[in-house]
Structure 1
Amino acid sequence: MKPSSRARNLSIRTRLTLIIIGLALGCLVVGFAVVGLRQIDSLRAQRLRSMSTLADVVGDSSVPGLAFADRDDTAEVLARLRRFSDIEVAVVFDAEGKPFASYHREGSTIDVGAAAPLAEGARPVRAVRDAISVVRLPIDYQGEHYGTVELISSNAALAAEIRALVLTLVAIAAALVLAAIVVAWFLQRRITRPILQLADVARQITEGGTPSLRAASGQPGEIATLAAGFNAMLEELEAREREVMRSRDTLRAVIDASPVAIIGVDAERKVTLWSERASAYFGTPGSEAVGQPIAGVARDPALDGVWTPWPGPVERKEVELESGRMLAISIAAVPDGGAVVMAADITEERHAAHALAERAAQLQRAQKMDVVGRLAGGVAHDFNNLLTVILASCQMLARRAATRPELQGYVDNIQSAA
């Protein structure tokens, strides 16, 4: 797990503890760093002041020797520096910048040649370096320049003092860190206890509790404001839940009262809504249908081609179930990948339409027979008129053809045909 992910998963107690400890550590580090640096600078400055005072004493004591060119007297003055264990090298230069007398502690690794004189009128030198401290001062008396004195001391004692100071600061810082941890633990408990109480109320609500639960608001300050706001939110949530319940009950009553079966399915074709009319059409109770694939709860051979493949955005199909019921099924897709299925019983409509079609066919046949009868009657009437004329004419022709036997056969044929 990434550090950022672990940080996000920390509890509020741990976060508060870390924040308090972090702030305390930051303040301690900055404070002790400032104090430590100032103390170290103070120790170094004190070291340089002590060496400057000692160099002034050596310089003043060396004036007679420099004035009378008495090297032994100046060397005796420098030899008194043996009492100062940290002085490694001391050199007195004359006014011309030439070494006049020197002191070198036995066993010291610092070369006397490292010392250098000051030019007349030059500024004194006071410096603390890595392993040594150097003080270089002019030797002046009553306005006359006699030379230069330089002291070089080891920083071992100074380093020991600095180490002791650092150890002391570290010990104090460690004690303060422990105190900060204890204080942070008590503070986070005091801060997080009411917040965790609010979280416990929220947890109870999410686990099935009612929004009628309320958080205790006995804490002062911002926590009380937070608890009051939380309780106001719970009251609003309770009111909205009641409104949602009423709306849901109303919607459910409308769906169950609808003459059309309404079924909701998700993207996986599992039932999310199953109306009472759907139970009546497909024979599956809503308690068993919800959460199941629609093909498993709306079972009928005629529906195999309806549920698979899944239709497009809007599709209407008419099917006849094994029970003889005829349904008009409309499927409308929804943006989340699911669909709303509506099934209307059109059995009576189809039977009425079939009966109407039968009656229309019978009426059409009757109308055809009437037309045929009328046509036949008209044709027969006209034909009878023609036959009457033909028979009358044939009878007259037969009387005249009685004297002509060769024509009698034709007359007989005409009468037979008429």
Structure 2
Amino acid sequence: MKFYFFNTPARPHSLLFRAHYLPQNLRKLRLVANLALSVACGILLLPLLFPFLNQTAHVTFFRGLNISLVLASAVALGLEGFLDQEPKYPFWLAQALCLAFGFAFISCCLGITFIAQSNPRNTLTMYLLGLVTVAFLWDFEYYETLVLVTFTALAFTLVLYFSGLNAEQVVLNQCVSFLILLCFLVLSRVMYSYRATHFIQLQEIEEKNRQIQKISQAKSEILGVVAHDLRSPFNNIEMITSLLQKKNLTPEMEQQYLNLILTSCQNSRTTINELLFIAREEQQETIPLEKLDLVALLQDVQAEWETQLQGSRNLLLSHPATPLYANLNKERFHRVLNNLVSNAVKFTPAQGKIRIQVREEKKKLLLEVSDNGIGIPDKIRPLLFDRFSKARRRGLQGEKSTGLGLSICRQLVEQHGGSIDVESQERQGTTFHITLPAAV
């Protein structure tokens, strides 16, 4: 267990723990206030059953303390009920209510023993009970606990002042009170630390469970891809091989079947490579980055794709005259650009335009890859970046998709500290927007 005597758990655990214990504090307040109200009302009614209790020393003050406890409990219950009806109440207001009632409860316990009994040797029984009750039940931040200790010490001093005790008894009681308040402070912080540590451990367990579920889901998805996307090419190969075994095929038909086998093998290899890449990337929390000129990288990508396209599409690059530096992993970000340009090529008709633009704005590099192709239907746009996305479509030339490319793009962009999104209109084109932090 980690102790939080003069601090709080690190963010975001501290905020989550506060959101957790705040309603718990109010529920505990309701419980204690109801019990205190019932007990105090019972004590006030006892003289009706036993009239001789009216002759007890300090009965008026004793009755006044119980009436005060009844009023404090009733007010606390009323305010707690009001806060319970509010969907969003201020944190400080709820904590202030718990602190105020805790102080009132301790003060009444102190008054009941110390003054009502006029017994200096038994002054701290109810006082100690009140402090222990507050320490065990409520979670307060360390500064709130110090405020409660300070006000309680002042109340104890005030009680001693009106008690008529001699100087020796006052000093002894103050010393014992100091020790009790110190124990209360330690006990309160220990209980806070125990609950905070327990809460953080539960959060970590839940996060681990979410990760396990995510891994299990990914495994199921991978098995689904293996079962579906790899089975089909191998079935095709098996069928075509059976056809090739026939003796009456022309050379043209044999060549056609061999080309189909080659295509099936290439599609299978692409799928396997994508799966291996995802498995490898998931094991790396961070990737090595270096300061690179993004413009130079884009120029390399443009040159490579112009060679492949052979003029079938117009690939344009717009960039400032000066270099734009970002912290990049050249290999991985090159993969992002290749995936986006490849998608644009698949869904842009011959002689269509594909444009890559980059600029700097407010210490951010804004990169766009756009085309004037067939666009993306509205119903599948939210699914684009999902792994094994159901939004996958064949290209205009029948190119197959694994449904992994854009998921990999998002994963790699986020590893670079950036973000990616898309806007598109059917029959008008698509634009992918990437935002990256500029290198210092």
Q: TM-score, normalised by structure 1?
A: 0.26
Q: TM-score, normalised by structure 2?
A: 0.25
Query: Higher strand fraction: Structure 1 or Structure 2?
Result: 1
For the pair shown, the structure with the greater C-alpha radius of gyration is 1
Structure with larger RCO (C-alpha < 8 A, sep 6+): 2
